Structure 1
């Protein structure tokens, strides 16, 4: 498991919350898997958080694929689960599609979105940036319209990642996602 005291990573200090989302309008969300918000994965003032998140995700088989912000329009990914590590600033993100739940995330936090979960940047402060990782073998897409029944079945059949992107074999993905299967 990743251990990086230089960046303040301590699995014991990380708290998380989970919540389920129902389908909403054209956004399928995920009927089986909860969204997970990890708080204080890394200490915000501990240096290069982007690199630290990239190393953490890579070590747990969620290879990082990009660094940037979150799109300011509603969208979801039907072909991959996604983890976003906040490496700068803070933001309010609408999760679940138009009219969804607004969550606040800050540097050092991470947001785990099961495939189908709508998300959209509502507002941000202080050079907001995230690192995005996806389970080994899954390639993200960008969807802004309803899925066909076949696409919905394909999304729901995506394999469960074997490791939590933050805490390896002991994290909430293992506790909440794999038990939902």
Structure 2
């Protein structure tokens, strides 16, 4: 088995009727992977083929991107997120952690430190939308989620990262 794959936590989230989440791909949590390099997270994501990046925070309301996967790397501080919708999974991220959200994955900031900063990026620099679970957007959102391709690189490890194994369903 790929040694790096063992260190990644996977979370499978279900459609809750408002937030669709992804029907087949899990959220990937890379804990403490960039502890020494956290201040350079945005450029590291870019180097690994994830672009259209930004440095900021996470919205304090449930939202998702139906047309792109998203990598979030904690540059400083900590954040507590809820993933998957109102009754989803709570996760705690701190400096050096990276989370990869497949298209459709709901996320919301519950709390954070005053020094919290996060870098976000998208595979191949894809453009992204922001949806909040409005019912009239749901049918279109579900179609868009199914059309988002698997990335060709892992945001942390590049061309030979565990995301490629996990999301392509390869067994070790």
Query: TM over 0.5: same fold?
Result: yes
Q: Is the 1:36–1:172 Cα contact (8 Å) retained in structure 2?
A: no
Q: Which residue of 2 aligns with 1:175?
A: 165
By how many angstroms is 1:25 displaced? Answer: 2.3
Verify: 1:32 aligned to 2:24, yes or no.
yes
* SS of residue in 2 equivalent to 1:134: strand
Verify: 1:15 aligned to 2:7, yes or no.
yes
By how many angstroms is 1:60 displaced? Answer: 1.3
Please point out which of 131, 142, 149 is paired with 1:152. Answer: 142
Verify: 1:57 aligned to 2:48, yes or no.
no
Q: Which residue of 1 aligns with 2:65?
A: 77
TM-score of the pair, normalised by structure 1: 0.84
TM-score of the pair, normalised by structure 2: 0.88
Provide structure 1 residue ranges, at least 5 long, that are not aligned to the other structure: 1-10
1-side partners of 2:141 and 2:113: how far apart?
36
Verify: 1:164 aligned to 2:154, yes or no.
yes
Q: Which residue of 2 aligns with 1:104?
A: 92
By how many angstroms is 1:70 displaced? Answer: 0.5
Q: Which residue of 2 aligns with 1:91?
A: 79
By how many angstroms is 1:79 displaced? Answer: 1.1
Q: How many residues are paired up?
A: 165
1-side partners of 2:138 and 2:76: how far apart?
36
By how many angstroms is 1:124 displaced? Answer: 1.0
By how many angstroms is 1:64 displaced? Answer: 4.7
By how many angstroms is 1:150 displaced? Answer: 3.6
CA RMSD of aligned residues (A): 1.9
